[in-house]
Structures are given as structure tokens and as C-alpha cells.
Structure 1
């Protein structure tokens, strides 16, 4: 059994609109149950602690996933989600892997959060997998600020500029995630068809492109955890 730290956004506001954002629910529930069903323990944390905001759009019927329905009937998962721990109390030594779901919220808080950035670097330096999906890879920006060159040449993916345009939120966000990751030197990869499943694994770093990629990204992290168990360790990122 492994212990996985999942960091959720605490940010709900958007720019130039009254619409709200937060965690995209399926990007939490899909990975959560992937980990739990493999016998792993999941610990939830967020910058503000407590219950994180949920993007209202992720609760619409067209975006509901089987894991969302499972969550709605799971009092223990709801209790954990409603009482996330304070991010600044987390240490990488206590966990075997890190996973960061999206929703647009990370563009504001995790992209600038010092604790999150340090944790990512600590996990990687200890040879532990780091997974992120959709806007979750925004947290890599702070890590790359703390360790310049971290993303240079790394194959990663995230919510693309095209997908951002298609959901009509380009004018409501502080920056385009794909563009910023490219500026940091990442070898950015994307599926040719928007909103299709796409996951990239480069060493210890696993990234998923969009909500549909959340479960597959978690499964890729689980594969790395299995590899670490068999080999004893995974080479950390340089």
C-alpha cells in the first residue's frame, strides 16, 4: 500500500466574469478512486485547507463521470474532500507520490504557491512520482521558478490553448498554460483532437491533457509506483 498526496486548488474567482471556478470534480474523483481501488491511501490538502471550491460546470450532467456518482454516495470521500489539510503542513517524506488535479483554480494559486513548488521538487528529488492533469500542471511553474531549467526538454501536456478557446475562458484567466509551459522550455505535447485522452510520462513526471485524461494519468502514476516497488527506486529528474 502506498500513500498519495493530492493537492487541490483553493481558488474560485475568475477574471472579467462573475462565473466561478475551482476543482474540476471529475479530475479529483477519477484519480481518487483509481488510487483507492489499488489499495493506496489518499491524503487531500489545499492552500487554504477545508473544503475546496468546485467548478460549477463540472457538476453539469454532460460532465458527470461514474466516479462523480460514486463520490456522491461515498460519505468518507465527501468527509475527506470537505476537510482538506493545510498544504503548508505537508512534507514529501510522508508520501510515495503526488497528484495535482485541475480546474482553472491552479492558474491563480498553485502556479504561485511556494509550498506547492517546494513539495514538487522534494518529491522529484526523492525519486517519487508527480502527476498533474489539465490545469494542475500550472503548479510546475512555481517549481520551475525555484529550479530553473526543471522543465527544459521535458515531455509534458496540459490543457491546451485550443481547448481554452473552445471553452470560451481565454478572457477570464491570468495566462495561457500551454504558452507558459512552452516558454519554460517544456517539450509540450497534445492530442490532435481536442478533449481526447492524452497522457505524457517523462521520468517521474506524469501529465494529463484534460478532464478525460485524469483517470489515465493516475493509472500512469500507479505504474510508476509499481516500478519503484519492483526496482527499489526510480531515477529522479536531473
Structure 2
């Protein structure tokens, strides 16, 4: 039976300053195509897409403009139904046993809704407690900071990565963030690590927790999820 993976997107369309945001195109597209494989008629994994509000999950149009790689363009042009008709997180409560992994693409949106979303936090805790893989990339790892397992933060004592303070500074959005991801991972007792250079791929696997630093780490996170699920070894 093919693995079943839950992708969770943000429902936040705006940042606190009113600027548009959402989820980031390559961070959904690249893992998606890697996990389903080259034969879409016979996918290697089943992908279910959810969001806090359900329905349309807003894409960050900046990511559409900035990423013109084959996977991102193909995904944007052919897979709109995946993010226009998402399942509401509340309808997935108690269903961790039906999946093998949960994955959160980034974009700045999760910083404004998923970080404190009770339905999302409960799902992460349920997935982890059920022995499932939990993964996120770029700003996505913010979803883990408020999850608690065995009475302590999920990331306490764990090594993780995510969008760095230096990368946030580089795109001049630090002042518009409610908190900084790097700081939040450290605040809950996580060991934050990053690549030597801005925008360089960096993926961290700590047990069943998989994190990636930035958009260029998205494919690597997809590969790490596949490896953790024993799907294939051709990447």
C-alpha cells in the first residue's frame, strides 16, 4: 500500500502589516512531485492537502514570480485544485492513524496562523505520538514550537533548522514578523542549525522530525520523508 501523507498549508493571506502572504510555491511543488513520482497515473504516495480554514489556501504570489523551475511552473499550472479545495484541519482530528507522515510547506503564512492553531498543534502531537514522521520546510517549522510531547516541547533537545534570522534580514521582513523562527526554536530548547551560506540547501533529520532551512531545501525534505517512509532509494 502506498504511503499516505498529509500536507498542511496556511490559510493566512496577509501579514500583520497588511502585505499579502501565503504558502510558498516550490516548497509544495518540489516535495509533491518527488513523493508521487514520475508516473502521476500511478503515484508512489497519496497526498491529502489541508489548511486551518479549509477550501482555498492562499499562495504567495511572490513565489510564483520568483520560481520558474520546471516543477514549480508545472505545479502552478496544473495542480490548482490541490490548494483551492483543501480539507479543514478540524475534519482530520483523530485520524493520524490513517496517514504515515505530516508535512508543512513554508511561506510566511504559517508565522501568522499555524504557529498557534490548536487543530494543527493537536495533529502534530497525535502524529508524533503515533510514531509518524513530522516534517516542515523554511517557515514551516514554526508549527512545531508550540507542540508538546511527554510534557515538554516537541523540539526540546532536538536539532532542527528553518528560515534563519539572517535570511529574514536579507529580504527585509524581520520587523514585520510576530517572532523569528530561529529564535523560537531556541526558545523552546531546540538546537538550531543552519547552512554556512544564505539560501543554501540544509536538511536536518532528528529521529522522526525532519526540517529544511529555506526554499532550496524543499526537495531535500521531500527526499528525507521518502527515505524515512522506506519508499524508494533512487534520490
Kindly indicate whether residue 23 of structure 2 is the aligned counterpart of residue 36 of structure 1.
no
CA distance in 1, matches of 2:150, 2:12: 22
Offset at residue 82 of structure 1 (A): 1.0
1:57 aligns with 2:79: no
CA shift at 1:146, angstroms? 8.9
**Which residue number corresponds to residue 40 of structure 2?**
none
Residues 191, 198 of structure 1: 8 Å contact kept: yes
Equivalent in the alignment of 2:16: 15
C-alpha deviation, 1:147, in angstroms: 4.3
Matched, 1:102 2:106: yes
Provide runs of 4+ in structure 1 moved above 4 Å: none
The structure with the greater share of residues assigned to helix is: 1
SS at match of 1:89: helix
Which of 117, 120, 125 aligns to 2:124? It is 120
Alpha-carbon separation, structure 1, partners of 2:160 and 2:167: 16
Identify which of 82, 85, 102 aligns with 1:83.
85
| Structure 2 counterpart of 1:198 | 202
* Alpha-carbon distance in structure 2 between the residues aligned to 1:70 and 1:214: 16
The within-5 A match list for 1:210-225 is 210-225=214-229
Whether the aligned pair in 1 keeps the contact of 2:24 and 2:59 (CA below 8 Å) is yes
Instruction: Deviation per CA, 1:67-88: give whole Å up to 9, x if none.
Output: 11111342xx321221001111
The answer on 1:208 being equivalent to 2:206 is: no
Partner residue in 2 for 1:172: 176
Alignment correspondent of 1:24: 24
Q: Which runs of 5+ in 2 are unaligned?
A: 38-42
SS in 1 for 2:115: coil
Query: Is the 2:161–2:204 contact (alpha carbons within 8 Å) kept by the matching residues of 1?
Result: yes
Inter-partner Cα distance in structure 1 for 2:56 and 2:151: 31
Equivalent pair of 2:147/2:153 in contact (CA under 8 Å): no
What does the per-residue CA deviation read over 1:178-203, in whole Å, with 9 as the maximum and x for residues that have no partner? 00110101011100101000000000
Residues of 2 paired with 1:127 and 1:96: CA distance? 9
Correspondence 1:180-195 to 2 at 5 A:
180-195=184-199
The two structures have a TM-score, normalised by structure 1, of 0.89
Alignment correspondent of 2:73 = 69
State the TM-score, normalizing by the size of structure 2.
0.91
Root mean square deviation of aligned Cα? 1.7
Give unpaired runs (5+ residues) of structure 1: 230-238
